[in-house]
Structure 1
Amino acid sequence: MRSTRVDAATGAVRPSRASGGGELRSVKTRTITRADLDLTEFSFGGAPLGNLYQEINDDDAASTLDAAWEAGLRYFDTAPHYGLGLSERRFAAGLSARPRSEYVLSTKVGRRLIPRESGPLGPDPDFAVPASHKRVWDFSRDGILRTLEASLTRLGTDHVDIVYLHDPDDHWEEAASAGFGTLDELRSQGVVRAIGVGMNQSAMLTRFVRETDLDVVMLAGRYTLLEQGALDDLLPAALERNTAVVAVGVFNSGLLSQPRPAPGAKYNYADAPAELVRRANDIADVCERHRVTLPAAALHFPLMHPAVVSVAIGMNSAAQVERNMDLYALTIPADLWDELHEVGLVRRTA
Structure 2
Amino acid sequence: MTLSFGPLGLGCAQLGNLYRALDDDEAAATVDAAWDAGIRYFDTAPHYGLGLSERRLGAALRGRPRDEYVLSTKVGRLLVPNSAPGPDPDIFVVPATHTRVWDFSAGGVRRSLADSLERLGLDRVDLALIHDPEEHAAEALDQAYPALAALRAEGVVRAIGVGSMRTEILTRFAAETDIDVVMVAARYTLLEQPALDALLPLCSRRGIGVLNAAVFNSGLLAEDRPHGGLPYEYQDAPAGLVKRASAMAEVCERHGTTLPAAALHFAGAHPAIRTVVAGAQGPDQVKRNAGLVFGPPPPAALWPDLVAHGLLRADAPVPA
TM-score of the alignment, normalized to the shorter chain, above 0.5: yes
The CA RMSD measured in Å over matched residues stands at 0.9
Structure 1 segments, 4+ long, off by >3 Å, are none
1:78 is matched with which residue? 44
How many angstroms apart in 2 are the aligned matches of 1:281 and 1:67? 29
Say which SS state the counterpart of residue 80 (structure 2) adopts.
strand
Deviations 1:104-163 (A, max 9, x none): 0000000011111x23x2100221111000011000011010010000011111210000
> Residue in 1 aligned with 2:195?
230
Partner of 1:246: 211
Q: 1:216 aligns with which of 174, 181, 190?
A: 181
Question: How does the TM-score come out when normalised to structure 2?
Answer: 0.96
- 2: CA distance, partners of 1:205 / 1:332: 30
Q: Map 1:155-174; keep pairs closer than 5 Å.
A: 155-174=120-139
Q: Look up the SS of the partner of 1:247 in the other structure.
A: strand
Unaligned runs of 5+ in 1: 1-34
Spell out, residue by residue over 1:251-288, the C-alpha distance to the aligned partner (whole angstroms, 9 max, x if none). 11111111111331111111111111111111112111
Q: Which is worse superposed, 330-339 or 190-199?
A: 330-339
Shift of 1:332: 1.5
> Is 1:256 aligned with 2:226?
no
Who is 1:20 aligned against? none
Partners in 1 of 2:68 and 2:127 — Cα distance? 14
Tell me the residue number matched to 1:144.
Answer: 109
Deviation string 1:293-321 (CA, Å, 9 cap, x unpaired) is 00110011111100111111112311111
Question: 1:155 is aligned with what amino acid?
Answer: L
Task: Measure the CA separation in 2 of the matches of 1:307 and 1:341.
Answer: 21
Number of the residue aligned with 2:275: 310
Greater Cα offset, 103-112 or 339-348? 339-348
SS in 2 for 1:348: coil
Could you tell me the TM-score, scaled by structure 1's length? 0.88
1:197 Cα deviation after fit: 0.3
What is the percentage of aligned positions where both structures have the same residue? 57
Q: For residue 171 of structure 2, what is the aligned residue in structure 1?
A: 206
Of 124, 147, 153, which aligns to 2:88?
Answer: 124
Is this contact kept in 2: 1:296–1:330, CA < 8 A?
no
1:192 aligned to 2:157? yes
Tell me if the contact between 2:227 and 2:242 (Cα under 8 Å) persists in the aligned partners: no
2:232 to 267, 275, 295: 267
Task: Tell me the distance in 2 between the aligned counterparts of 1:54 and 1:330.
Answer: 32
- Is it true that 1:66 corresponds to 2:32 in the alignment? yes
In the alignment, which of 98, 108, 111 is matched to residue 64 of structure 2?
A: 98
**AA in 1 matched with 2:227:** A
In the aligned structure 2, how far is the partner of 1:263 from the partner of 1:140?
Answer: 41
Equivalences, count:
314
**What SS does the aligned partner of 1:94 have?**
helix
Deviation string 1:135-194 (CA, Å, 9 cap, x unpaired) is 110000110100100000111112100000000010000001101000100111111111
Q: 1:265, 1:271 within 8 Å by CA — same for their partners in 2?
A: yes
What does the per-residue CA deviation read over 1:26-48, in whole Å, with 9 as the maximum and x for residues that have no partner?
Answer: xxxxxxxxx01110111100100
Question: What is the letter of the counterpart of residue 40 of structure 1?
Answer: G
Indicate if the aligned counterparts of 2:228 and 2:239 stay in contact, CA closer than 8 A. Answer: no
- Tell me how far apart the structure 1 counterparts of residues 57 and 235 of structure 2 sit (CA, whole Å): 27
